[in-house]
Amino acid sequence: MIPRWLLEADRRGLPATEVAVLVVGSGVAGLSTALELPPELPVLLATKARLASSATRYAQGGIAAVLAADDSPGDHWADTMTAGAGLCDPEAVRVLVSEGAAAVRRLQRLGASFDLEGGRLALTIEGGHSRRRIVHAGGDATGAEVERALAGAVRSAPNVTIAERTFLVDLVTEGGEATGAVLWSAGDAGGPRLVRAGAVVLASGGAGQLYASTTNPALSTGDGIAAALRAGATLADLEFVQFHPTALHLDSDPRPLISEAMRGEGAVLRDQRGAEVMAGVHPRGDLAPRDVVTRGMAARMAELGVDHLFLDATGVPAARLELRFPTILARCRAAGVEPTRDWIPVSPAAHYLMGGVLTDLDGRSSLPGLYAVGEAACTGVHGANRLASNSLLEGLVFAARIARAIPAAVPGRWSDAGTPAGEPFPLAQAAPDQRARDSRVAAGGGDRRIDGVRGQLRRLMTGRAGVLRSHDGLAAAAAGIIGLSGRLESVTAAGGRERWEVANLLQIGAALTRLAANREESRGAHSRSDHPEPVEAWRLRQVVTRRPDGGLDQGTIEVPAPEEARR
């Protein structure tokens, strides 16, 4: 059930701003959307932290695109379809792989600097790929470089107003359409504000904070996805959560990621005895799709009764490691591990949500006026398991498509570029002490009762709805979420952003566990100990919508047949 206090929020009398397009989120998807929109449309870009604080900056591996002479869109299509375990939308994948190279070239024109070898783009390979097609920057700092280039361009765009430290409370609907949102800004000039918009684009990221062990930053609380659910939009594929097999095994939140590209350069997964973990498990060994590697690691850890394994990169020349993975090496060394001579302790961590707001090929949701892009969206390209380095690509490709679709859909009353109608949106500057407080809030350092609910939810989801699931475990998770939702209801509404974030996580957790319990098979990132094999009858995608009473309705949609002509 959706919390009553969220559904009954009083929006009357709020100060209002009017813009052509409201974009929520400032990762690769949100920045790209704002940048690609026509300059005559006033855009408000709202982000709940700083402009450069999204999950994008943590992306290490790179961007998968067809850029080499020995590669083809057909090969990339086939690899993506295989990784998706029968649930990818073949037409969405065709769009992704055929428009990927142009997306990379656009980034280069904006000043993104990718690594070169011999004067050409350096390409690497990751799990599930049959070709070297991953472009990267700064060795293992691709996300940071992409975000730098896009953020710089957005800051220079005269039609884009940037609202930092601004939280999405809820979407506003009128007559069955999304017409804006209620935002809450921090600072003395902040507070709640109604933003009316011709189109709303959710680029607010995933929900990795559902799990106690995650590579996602504290900001990844599924705010846009939960708001879309409350507004009546259809969500899809929420049961598919990708656990990255190699996060640095530390007691930290988030866990530092050890890029799959390190295995692409020759690193090997080993157990405490030195045995190769993936030997005989899959033909591609350490470069098998992520779900296969994660399950192989989970099985070996259970067999040995340990909570981590090791990544052995000592066979990779030290100079190569220093060149390709400076960020990873620095993080390992800070933890007392020297990758050039030590095995790196690793364990799986929640990494990417394949599900989200169901969209068409132009980012339209089932709710008119509402679009979604990036990890908040479910375009169908990932199916049951995302192919490595397709996520940044998806954000770039579908942001451009949304930006082309919106002008024909929004009212034509905006002509003065860069000047929103109504009151200007308040852009408060954070004092140093306020920035510190925001950081503590993002990490869960406020109301202890809210922190307690959040912590229990994350442990519950990790133990009962994580890498390996079962009927009994998912039932326990569902019951636990109901109890935690009741506890949150009893907390005073003064909890603010912390309370909203936990409410959003509870809503997504409830939908996720429900769909996971219903899918009685193992497919891609969804693995059931009581149903260990895929079932052809379940080659369907599950969807969920909210009833007027706040409950959830489930449904299914068929997956189109992967016709060869679409390649």
Q: pLDDT tens across 196-216, in order? A: 999 999 999 999 999 999 999
pLDDT of residue 334: 94
What are the residue ranges in the chain where pLDDT is below 70?
A: 1-12, 53-55, 57-60, 188-189, 411-424, 426-446, 492-495, 563-567
In DSSP terms, which residues pair with 16 in a beta bridge? 194
The DSSP secondary-structure symbol of 450 reads H
What phi and psi values does residue 75 have, to the nearest 5 degrees? -65, -45
pLDDT of residue 436: 40
| Catalytic residue chosen out of the listed positions 290, 300, 519, 541 | 290
Prediction pTM value: 0.91
pLDDT of residue 433: 44
pLDDT of residue 410: 85
pLDDT of residue 435: 42
Is the N-terminal amide bond of 254 cis, ω within 30° of 0? yes
Number of helices (H), then strands (E), belonging to the chain: the values are: 16, 22
Which residue bears the tokens 């095995």? Answer: 343
CA 92 – CA 80 distance, rounded (Å): 11
pLDDT of residue 448: 83
pLDDT of residue 414: 57
Catalytic-residue membership of 364: no
| Contact between 290 and 242 (Cβ < 8 Å) | yes
Provide the terminal-to-terminal Cα distance of the chain, rounded to the nearest Å. Answer: 42
Can you read off the two tokens belonging to residue 138?
């700064």
Give the 3-state secondary structure of 133-182: CEECCCCCCHHHHHHHHHHHHHHCCCCEEEECCEEEEEEEEECCEEEEEE
3-state secondary structure of 229: helix
pLDDT of residue 14: 80
Q: Please, what's the b/e burial string for 356-384 (b: 16 or more CB within 10 A of its CB; e: otherwise)? A: bbbbbbbbbbbbebbbbbbbbbbbbbbbb
CA 240 – CA 380 distance, rounded (Å): 12
C-alpha pair distances (Å), 208 with each of 193, 280, 301, 465: 28, 31, 22, 13
CATH numbers and ranges of domains, the chain? 246-348 (3.90.700.10), 442-540 (1.20.58.100)
| Contact between 167 and 187 (Cβ < 8 Å) | no
The DSSP secondary-structure symbol of 561 reads P
pLDDT of residue 444: 41
pLDDT of residue 140: 79
For 4-28, the pLDDT digits (tens) are: 444 444 566 788 889 999 999 999 9
Give the 3-state secondary structure of 491-539: CCHHHCHHHHHHHHHHHHHHHHHHHHHHCCCCECCECECCECCCCHHHC
